[in-house]
Amino acid sequence: MQYEFITVEGNIGAGKTTLATKLSHHFQAKLVLEEFADNPFLPKFYENQRQYAFPLELFFMAERYKQLQEMLLQKNMFQQITVSDYLFTKSLLFARNTLSDDELKLYQRLFDIIQQNLIQPQILIYLHAPLEKLQENIRKRQRAYEQKIPDHYLQSIQDTYLQYIKQSNFPVLFVDASNADFLTTDLHLQKITDALEKRYTPGVHTLLLD
C-alpha cells in the first residue's frame, strides 16, 4: 500500500461514504466520516439557502477541523492507514457556491488560518457522476431535506470541484462513477484498491471502472 492518508471526494450523492467505508474495511484502516447529520443548519439551509448558508458553512468547517485534528492527535499505531470521506478544502469549495461576496471574504480568512494546522491527503479519490446519477442516489438514500436539491446547485458544486482538482498539488484519482456500485460489485472496489498500489505524481489520473 502506497498511501497512509486517503481521501474520497465527490458531489452530493456520488458515493463517497460507501467507498470510504469499503476501503477502510479492505485496508483495515481508520475511518473518518463527515458528521453531516449533526449540523443543525442543514435542513434549514435547503429551505432557505440565503439565510442559513453562512452558519451552515461555519459549522461544517469547525466540525471538519475538529475531526481532522483529533485524527492527527489520536493516530493509532496499529492503524497506519486513514481513509476520510471528505477533504477539508471542501468547506471553502461549498462556501464559494453559497455565500455572498462579503461573507466569503470573512470565511476565506478564517479558512486560511485554520488550514495551516492540517495536513493534506496523500491521494484524493474523486468520484465523478452525471447529475442524473447523483439525483438517483439522493432519492435512494431518502434524506427528506435533500429531495428538493435542484440540478443547478449540483452542477455548480460539480464545476467547483473540477476546477479545484485541476489545480491540485497532490495526486488525484479521477474515477468515472457513472455506473459505480461499490456495495454489490466487487470488481469496482478491486479496481480502486489495485490503483492505490501505484505511486502517482501530483495531478489528475483517470480511472475507468468498466
**Residues known to be catalytic:** 85
Continuous segment of H or E residues that includes residue 9: strand 5-10
Collect all residues with Cβ–Cβ distance below 8 Å to 209 and sequence separation of at least 6: 175, 176, 177, 179, 180, 187, 188, 191
Extract the C-alpha cell encoding 76. Answer: 493509532
Q: Which residues of 107-130 are buried (b: 16+ CB within 10 A; e: fewer)?
A: beebbeebeeeeeebbbbbbbbbe
User: If you ran DSSP here, which 8-state letter would residue 121 be given?
Assistant: P
To the nearest 10°, the Cα dihedral for 141, 142, 148, 150? 10
